[in-house]
A and B are shown apart, each in its own frame.
Chain A
Amino acid sequence: MRAQDKVMPRFKVEIDYDECNSCGRCAVNCTFGVIEFDREQDKPIIVDTGKCVACQRCAVFCPTNAISIKEYPVTYAPHGNWTPWHRRGVYEQARTGAVLLAGMGNDRNYPVVFDSLVWDACQVTNPAIDALREPVETRTFLGRKPKKLGIREINGKFELEDIYPNVMLSTPLIIDHMSLGSISYNAYTAMLRAVSEVGTLFGTGEGGLHPDHYPFRKNIISEVASGRFGVSPDYLDAAALEIKIGQGAKPGHGGQLPGEKVTQLISDTRGIPLGTDALSPNPQHDIYSIEDLKTLIAALHEATEYRVPVGVKIAAVNNVAPIASGIVRADADFITIDGFRGGTGAAPRVIRDNAGIPVELAVASVDQHLTNEGIRHKVTLVAGGSLRSSSDLIKILALGADVGMVGTAALIAMGCRVCQQCTTGKCAWGIATGDPILGKRIDLEWATRRLINLFCSWTADLDEVLGTMGIDAVESFVGNRDRLRYIGSNPEEAKILGVKHAGSRIGIGGE
């Protein structure tokens, strides 16, 4: 490496030796090679501040709060257009000639549609419901619904035909797909334990299912993606199946788990040899058209004897509404829409940051389109990417989703600091890593509890909010855009959302 190749560090790590008690925890915890413990000097030293990613692991584990992490004080000459972010990208690509990979979700500063929405509450004309003492129901069913029931009268008795298989969720919130490998064994297990305790679902991701996790079947959505890793009859015996067409962080792009991350555990789970690249092609090669999707859905229904709902996950893209309509007509039982802020273990940065559309607009558009086509009642609409708080969840429900999903929020609940290094597999918090030793940093009991807490508190928030709107069951809130108002500055956006501007009274504007 020439000197010219050098890029100035992003962060400056400092240890206040007046406070430091030389316990060495920081050095043990740093996985990025920033701090090491110097035995001669008997104290931790900064060996390469340029490698710091501000994951805070060292600082959090320092018992004396002796560590500080700051922006590195060598400034880039200011330029309104050529931001340091742009310059750093060029330096790296010029050095390597490669595609930049990035983890987490889109980190560009696009306007967030959620932040332009507010909701209604009861005043005078109807009573708010006291959610703490009276029932407010959040139970939701994932699966296909008929337009009407099949009832036959036989000798004066009425017989009800079975309706399609539906999975019961205690709350309209699930954890989106994350594969074992992109996520550590303990983090993965904690998520499974939490959803099984709460009574909701977690997706396997494109990574197969480890035999240890078979007992959680009732709370698992098995993903059938382009790589078909670990897809066996055992794997298909889950609460629900999902065909993954696209992911919000990388619409149209498949995936690749590099060989060095295919450890024994991953090899066992995915059913591939140790150390080989696990490649998920961009398309699914049995799906080149909507008829083919219909075929794969039917094949999964057949393979599971019509016992479980089969859904389709797509990334939110320009044409999402007609695509969703085609998916309903292809007999999907649920549709998952992943917005352009959705997370990922790894995606080309150029795609992560630019492809797709916000989930708020996608969901509103899909909900309205399916309604106009008279087929909305058939499917369950799941949406995420990204829901950052219970308020995002509440807004996405009102915009038309039956169920919200989180990925990154669940990781943050387990300690993730959003340092965007998922791609490297070096996660100091033991979450986004396949390294079995790092993975042990997640305490199973603790992480499970934190996740359950997150579900409980978001559900409690939902209860409270529904109560203040005088609604006692979440199904009366799904698609209830009437209770939302828009406070942004873009009338076109409000129109697409189907939400009136704040200050408009009920009913104004018709349509």
Chain B
Amino acid sequence: MTKVKKITIDAEPKGKKLYHRELNKKIRRAIRNGYNWIILKNIKGQRFIGAGIKEKVTIEVFGDAGLDLGVFSEGITIIVHGCSEYLLGNTLNAGELIVYGDSWDITGMGARGGKILVMGNGGSRIGIHMKEFRDKKPIIVYGGKVKQYCGEYMAGGMIIVLGLDFSQAIKDKKKPITRENIDPKKVKNYKGEIVQSDLAGGIHGGTVYIRGDVPDHNLGVYAVKDEFTDEDTEILTPALKRFSELFNIPLDLIWKKKFTKIRPVSSRPFGKVYTYTPI
């Protein structure tokens, strides 16, 4: 294993917020100088952290990350001790993005690989148009609940929504949220629907797993429920294990509720919408 070489970058040196361009420049410089664990202090919504980075390094963010965290990146690990804005992992190619907080709309848009694990809740259009290719299979796990159009046009990969409520489980709310700061006994299940309407609308590849029931009226066009089999258990296990490790919650507790599996009607749902113009 490569030796961990850490460096801390203050995103607010002398009380002045660094603009994303300067911050990313500093990050890239640190990578070029051989650091592989970069700690960012005092982040206040800086956008594009880790954009387009191919190196397998870790960035640890303290504070709330801005839009497009890890956009276009391929292999980076980013851990956010706070929330992350819209478009987390936009067009992600590989790597792991971990958020100890919430992250709202359009997470993992068009992702082709990598993992996105969010402890808290999500917004609309999570995992829109994700796709998979060969060994690349993007995975999004949300600990809490998500809103409408989750998995829209999905073409591959996996979205998992757990419906767990961590809001009472933070031991010391003044400290940044880390694994150690989570009290597993106080994690609860959300009551009621944890996904909203148009779930997986237009899906033509990949799978969505929702912990608990999904009412039919929430299913989007061309999405259907399917039987949850042992094979699914096998597929889900590594991702859930990772989630349980990261967020300090026992795996058994997650398995206590049954999952609903949602898949496309076919890989060619729109096949009959169009016809050729007559000669």
Contact = CB atoms under 8 A, between A and B. Distances in A.
A and B directly contacting (CB within 8 A): yes
Given A279-B204, A302-B21, A51 B279 contact: yes
A424 B47 contact: no
B209 interface: no
B20 interface: yes
Contact of A99 (B93, B128, B131, B274): B274
A302 B153 contact: no
A272 B156 CA distance: 8
Given A273-B156, A279-B153, A52 B129 contact: no
B133 interface: yes
B48 A298 contact: yes
Interface in B61-79: 67-68, 71-74
A273 B133 contact: yes
Interface stretch (A226-234, A386-394, A481-489): A226-234
A63 interface: no
A125 B132 CA distance: 66
A492 interface: no
Interface stretch (A89-97, A170-178, A373-381): A89-97
B112 A271 contact: yes
Contacts of B51: 299, 302-303
A104 B51 CA distance: 37
Interface residues of B, number: 52
B24 A277 contact: no
Interface in A10-47: 10-11
B238 interface: no
A471 B166 CA distance: 70
Given A233-B54, A303-B52, A304-B52, A277 B268 contact: yes
Contact of B155 (A89, A92, A279, A423): A279
B28 interface: yes
Contacts of B273: 98-99
A277 B267 contact: yes
Given A286-B106, A286-B109, A227 B129 contact: yes
A99 B275 contact: yes
A89 to B, nearest CB: 7
B275 A96 contact: yes
B225 interface: no
B41 interface: no
Given A92-B278, A281-B153, A303-B48, A232 B204 contact: no
B74 A233 contact: yes
A166 to B, nearest CB: 19
A281 B106 CA distance: 14
Interface string B256-279: 000000000001111111111111
Q: Which among B47, B110, B270, B277 has the greatest number of chain A C-beta atoms within 10 A?
A: B277
B196 to A, nearest CB: 16
B67 to A, nearest CB: 5
Interface string A230-244: 111100100000000
Q: Which among A7, A53, A102, A302 has the greatest number of chain B C-beta atoms within 10 A?
A: A302
B136 to A, nearest CB: 7
A322 interface: no
Interface in A285-318: 285-286, 295-296, 298-300, 302-306
B47 A285 contact: no
A53 B279 CA distance: 6
B91 interface: yes
Given A236-B52, A299-B51, A304-B52, A228 B271 contact: no
Contact of B277 (A227, A275, A276, A423): A423
Contacts of A50: 279
A93 B155 CA distance: 29
A53 B133 CA distance: 37
Nearest 9 A/B pairs, CB to CB: A303-B52, A228-B110, A302-B51, A98-B275, A302-B48, A303-B51, A271-B133, A303-B72, A96-B275
22 contacts: A9-B279, A10-B279, A100-B275, A231-B72, A231-B91, A231-B93, A233-B52, A233-B73, A233-B93, A236-B72, A258-B268, A273-B132, A273-B205, A276-B205, A279-B155, A286-B68, A286-B106, A299-B51, A299-B68, A299-B90, A302-B71, A305-B28
Given A277-B269, A299-B68, A423-B276, 8 more contacts: A50-B279, A99-B274, A101-B274, A273-B133, A276-B156, A279-B155, A279-B270, A295-B67
